[in-house]
């Protein structure tokens, strides 16, 4: 899995971890604080592991204070994700426009419309984006 961005996306691909991040967005918290909402569903070591994943992904920072490990969000990893997704903005904005256009042409139709075997020259529009 190597690269940092993959690690970050992988870390985000879990509802428990996203919930932990949501909790941390309200302020710093210790491991047991973070674990509390989940202890009916899973053990403390499970949370420790989740935190380790989040830490390696750069999404959180864990410090030491006596026997506690206060955790806080680390903005930079979020920025990496935001920067990556940003280059696709045109696509989600575009599809919203298309949805509206579509809804206007179809408001009274009932059949979802099977597709034609036409030349399908309707290329997707090419904003010619810088890649990666």
CB of 104 to a second copy, least distance (A): 18
Q: Which of 52, 72, 75, 50 is nearest to 61 (CA)?
A: 72
Interaction of residue 49 with DNA, rule CB under 7 A: yes
Binding pattern for the stretch 70-109 against DNA, x by CB under 7 A and - elsewhere: ----------------------------------------
Query: HSE of 61 in the Cβ direction (CA atoms, 13 Å)?
Result: 10
**Is residue 73 within a helix (H) or strand (E), and if so which, with residue range?**
strand 71-73
Question: Residue 122: left if φ>0, alpha if ψ -120 to 50, beta else—which one?
Answer: beta
Of 9 and 38, which has the nearer Cβ to a second copy?
Answer: 9
28 binds DNA per the rule CB under 7 A: no
Question: Does residue 31 bind DNA (CB under 7 A)?
Answer: yes
**Residue 68 DSSP symbol:** B
| 37 is an interface residue for DNA by CB under 7 A | no
Distance between CA atoms of 41 and 127, rounded to whole angstroms?
46
Question: What does the binding site for DNA look like in residue numbers (CB under 7 A)?
Answer: 1, 10, 13-14, 16, 30-33, 41-53, 62, 66-69, 117
């Amino acid at each position: 899995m190597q690269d940092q961005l993959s690690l970050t996306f992988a870390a985000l691909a879990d509802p428990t971890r996203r919930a932990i991040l949501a909790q941390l967005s309200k302020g710093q918290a210790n491991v047991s604080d973070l674990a509390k909402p989940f202890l009916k569903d899973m053990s403390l070591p499970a949370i420790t592991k989740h935190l380790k994943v989040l830490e390696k992904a750069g999404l959180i920072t864990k410090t030491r204070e006596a026997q506690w490990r206060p955790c806080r969000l680390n903005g930079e990893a979020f920025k990496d994700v935001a920067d990556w997704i940003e280059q696709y903005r045109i696509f989600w904005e575009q599809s919203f426009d298309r949805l509206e256009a579509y809804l206007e042409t179809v408001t009274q139709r009932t059949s979802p419309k099977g597709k034609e075997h036409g030349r399908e020259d309707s290329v997707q529009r090419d904003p010619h984006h810088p890649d990666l």
